[in-house]
Structure 1
Amino acid sequence: MTAELRIGRRTVELARPRKVLFPDDGITKADLADYYQRVAARMLPHLRGRPLMLERHPDGIDDSGFMQKDIPGHFPDWVAHAELPKEDGTVDYVLCEDTASLVYLAGQACVTPHRWLSRADRPDHPDRLVLDLDPADGEDFATVRRAARRLRALLDELDLPSQVMTTGSRGLHVVVPLQRRDTFDEVRAFGRELAGLLAARYPDELTTEVRRRARRGRLYLDVQRNGYGQTAVAPYAVRARPGAPVAAPLDWAELDDPGLTARRWTLADAGRLADRDPWDTPRGRSAKAAHRRLDALREDEGTGPGEGG
């Protein structure tokens, strides 16, 4: 069985619309497509122009699924794409420019689109810095909320705007809008030093130590997503977990809710997610200028670039 959806000027074919993708919840492929159509106006500004890695689960989320970079040959020619270099060749990535494309991806059992932090026209110059905050084993979510607030305070000191979102998985992402003047290497170096200073300020709770055993129960400040070809979950994306949790943008005040978790919002909240707009759209700032201010702070506090682990 195939359903046909008319979206704008496009006709999107949805094969096997009754296929259950979330067995514990009875959520079908048609439900997933309906969700993405309802939140498209909010989600598309976070996707347009960005290469995507598609997390596909054609046999449902109980199956391991697979990650897809290259656009499949059977995709219709109206789905945009961009061929970008990699170490030993190129990858032809999907771009999601309109609602029809987003719904089509859902019809291909793409449960979760993961986006680059740069755009295809300048792929080595990110316009986002993402810091990933996941709770340590056994820690409650209050530690994550507290770390996010402390990170925001430091970013305010550096005159950088910041946004916060649930990941729909374990933690929070803090997102920093940037100008597209600096390379990934420069932005990631700044992110590492930013995380190092924050960990130095709160050494009993936060760490930049990559090795799990060395973290000793502290929350890891993860900046590893900030590299060429790396991705982060897109705002409003559904995660392949029971209950269909969603990566949801938050207002900073929502961190004061003691009941907040990474899976607070789900596919069932499509209407409320489509109606709310907790993020403003701040202009991106210079990572280089912020890096200079960070160096001055580190010097004042006597924190070297390798400390804070």
Structure 2
Amino acid sequence: MEGRRIALSNLDKVLYPATGLTKGELLHYYATTAQVLLPHLRDRPVSFLRYPDGPDGQVFFTKNVPPGTPDWVTTAEVPRSEGPARMVLVQDLASLMWAANLVTEFHTHQWTADDPDEADRLVFDLDPGPPATVVQCCEVALWLRERLAADGIEAYAKTSGAKGLHLLAGVRGSSSERVSEYAKALAVEAERALPRQVVHRMTRSLRPGKVFVDWSQNAARKTTATPYTMRARSQPAVSTPVTWDEVAGCRSAEQFVFRADDVGPRVRDYGDLLAPLFERRRAAPLP
């Protein structure tokens, strides 16, 4: 594969008992989605959420370069409060398949390895507190989209692959700290505008029936599930880009559950709905 020899293991192992999806099928998913997935991984230090025995087995984060990583896999030294660390960069199909063979959910920062001091993404994680669902997340997302647009920032949406919705936007010229401050201010504003629907604090007792607008994932140390990653959940759900028409038309949580075999047809129909994030001219400075 791209001149690299990769040993793929346990291809018949069932990872998702609810659907029977095997490790071989997971690897096939990542191989066939690589064209749209790789741009979202490239140049971004990757944290792996690993679940080698499936979501019902042991699940653990790997941030540093895992033992046994081939020497041809690109790595980068990244700053951390406790001192610099070395992390993996998934730059090509070969390194994607090596990482996927570890049974991995991919998480990335809102900055790139070549410029960790400047954030190039803004993200909101909209997390519903039952009985609220992604339907209520969509309502809040539409408000946030308009509010961001008022500041000249164009937002895009994807499912979290779990219960909620993620909003992403391209930004430039700001540190992670500044983006976090801006995102928090908008989350507070959303709560004031939609007090029965929104909470901006993580406190569990405040969240039932409301949408938690999590602004904190803009912090430099935080990561967010990468677009098109499969999630370590009971179902093989994928964090999938959606159109704003789909957001506006969401009437049930089932509408926003996309599994591995749903993604290929969507990519054929829509391409990568998040591709504008790579266009520097669309990245806006914060007000």
Bin for the TM-score computed over the shorter chain:
over 0.9
Structure 1: which 5+ residue stretches go unaligned? 1-6, 291-309
Moved more, 202-211 or 26-35: 202-211
Residue identity opposite 1:279 in structure 2? L
CA distance in 2, matches of 1:87, 1:266: 37
Distance apart, 1:171 and its partner CA:
0.3
Task: Name which of 219, 222, 244 aligns with 1:227.
Answer: 219
Query: What's the secondary structure of 1:114's corresponding residue?
Result: strand
Distance apart, 1:108 and its partner CA:
1.3
TM-score calculated relative to the size of structure 1: 0.86
CA distance in 1, matches of 2:36, 2:266: 8
Partner residue in 2 for 1:192: 184
Check the 8 A contact 1:54/1:68 in 2, yes or no: yes
Is 1:140 matched up with 2:139?
no
Task: Name which of 50, 57, 73 aligns with 1:79.
Answer: 73
Partner residue in 2 for 1:32: 26
Is 1:105 matched up with 2:89?
no
CA distance in 2, matches of 1:19, 1:183: 43
Is 1:213 matched up with 2:205?
yes
Query: What's the secondary structure of 1:127's corresponding residue?
Result: strand
How does 1:146-161 map onto structure 2 within 5 Å?
146-161=139-154
Task: Name which of 40, 44, 51 aligns with 1:50.
Answer: 44
Check the 8 A contact 1:167/1:263 in 2, yes or no: no
Distance apart, 1:280 and its partner CA:
4.4
Check the 8 A contact 1:167/1:248 in 2, yes or no: yes
Distance 1:216 1:272, change over 3 A: closer
Residues 141-183 of structure 1 show CA distances to partners (whole Å, capped at 9, x for unaligned) of 321110011111111111111100001001000111111x211
Partner residue in 2 for 1:66: 60
CA distance in 2, matches of 1:87, 1:280: 32
Distance 1:62 1:47, change over 3 A: same
Distance 1:136 1:266, change over 3 A: same
Residues 196-232 of structure 1 show CA distances to partners (whole Å, capped at 9, x for unaligned) of 1122111121121332223463222111111112100
Partner residue in 2 for 1:23: 17
How many positions carry a matched residue from both structures? 280
Partner residue in 1 for 2:169: 176
Partner residue in 1 for 2:3: 9
Where in structure 1 do 4 or more consecutive aligned residues deviate above 6 Å?
none
Distance 1:144 1:270, change over 3 A: closer
TM-score calculated relative to the size of structure 2: 0.92
Distance 1:96 1:280, change over 3 A: closer
Partner residue in 2 for 1:307: none
Check the 8 A contact 1:170/1:262 in 2, yes or no: no
Query: What's the secondary structure of 1:221's corresponding residue?
Result: strand
Residues 116-151 of structure 1 show CA distances to partners (whole Å, capped at 9, x for unaligned) of 110011113111111111112211332111001111
Structure 2: which 5+ residue stretches go unaligned? none
Is 1:165 matched up with 2:164?
no
Check the 8 A contact 2:56/2:234 in 1, yes or no: no
Partner residue in 2 for 1:284: 283
Task: Name which of 205, 208, 230 aligns with 1:238.
Answer: 230
Query: What's the secondary structure of 2:284's corresponding residue?
Result: coil
* Cα root mean square deviation, aligned: 1.7
Identity of aligned residues (%): 31
Query: What's the secondary structure of 1:82's corresponding residue?
Result: strand
CA distance in 1, matches of 2:84, 2:47: 14
CA distance in 2, matches of 1:33, 1:191: 35
Residue identity opposite 1:11 in structure 2? R
